[in-house]
Amino acid sequence: MPVTTGMGRVAGLAVGVTLAVGAALAVGGCASDTEDLGDSARRPSASASKAAGPSRALVTWAGRMCAATKLYETVKADSADEIEEITDPPEDALIGPEFTAMGYLSSTSSSLDEVAEKLGGVPSSGIAAADRLHDSLAEQVATIRPKVTALTDNSGFTSPAEDSVDRAERVGKLIESLKRPAPGLSTVVAKEPELFAAYRAAPPCAPPEPLPKAADGSDTGACADGRCEILVTKQVDFPLRAWRVRVSLTETKAKVSNGGPEGGAGQLTLTSGGTGSFGDAGGDTVTVRAVAVTGDGAVLRFSTK
């Protein structure tokens, strides 16, 4: 009997925005050692305060907001991709749409909960436009979250697969209803010099790191013996010992479908750093680690024992 297990963690990746800003140079006069400048000499000038950089509070706001908005966008993009796969599955799909829908319902509910948690952790910035953007996102998530929870709760069904495709489609429409407020984060940031400086200083707002090199490049043939590390940039199918493996990608996830030698099938959904395994009871176990997953592709490491 085929056994498939898997886990993946959702990692928020920040998107950097390139904006052009003018650099201001302040020129100050010099005073002699004997000249008494009074209190003005001890108070920092406006230019000196700007040189000190953004406040820690604004850097915190920018970092948390970047993480929350990136995940918000990721949930929308991934949902659209997965709903298409569920409603229009390929003829040679390794698993049925009802099982793909089960995975979608579980992961989407968890991801939406995480978006709500991240937005809940964003403090007030004190900047009206920035806080309006946050409040708009939080309100939209709060509106659909109870409905998504109700549709993804399996307790009222005889099995998780019951009506899973229909429920997935309904959840997909709820996720699709989430709008991108205007102005968006990059526009709001560009209009506020101190906030722009905070954005540049916040690590979650930095551009994503490039994918690391894979030991076997894009050569899926290296996986035939059960051990390989490959770069995947589009859907690929390949043999791994007695298993047939298919890898497909969304913006932040690698889906590893597997067809077993005895006809069983399963699927792992992994984000960066996630690990999962599949195998036959009493037989080989294949472990898959997502070394990195970005919008550009994924580096996956397979091992068998």
Domain count, the chain: 2
Check whether residue 145 and residue 99 sit in a common domain.
yes
pTM: 0.75
Mean pLDDT score, 240-264: 89
- Residue 290 near residue 275, CB atoms below 8 Å: yes
Query: Is residue 32 one of the residues assigned to a domain?
Result: no
Mean pLDDT is lowest, of 43-47, 177-181, 187-191, for: 43-47
Q: Does 278 score more than 50 pLDDT? A: yes
Name the domain boundary from 205, 230, 254: 205
Domain of 223 in residue numbering reads as 211-304
pLDDT band at 159 (very low <50, low <70, confident <90, very high): confident
> What single letter denotes the amino acid at residue 205?
C
CA 246 to chain centre: 22
Question: CA 152, CA 48: separation in Å to the nearest integer?
Answer: 54
Least confident of 9-23, 143-157, 235-249: 9-23
pLDDT at 155: 84
Convert the pLDDT of each residue in 20-78 to its tens digit: 333 332 333 333 333 333 333 333 344 444 456 899 999 999 999 999 999 999 999 99
In a domain, 10, yes or no: no
The Cα 140–Cα 183 span in angstroms is 16
Among 205, 228, 251, which residue terminates a domain?
205
Ranked by mean pLDDT, which of 1-5, 92-96, 262-266, 292-296 comes out on top?
Answer: 292-296
Give the pLDDT of residue 52: 64
Average model confidence (pLDDT) across the chain: 84
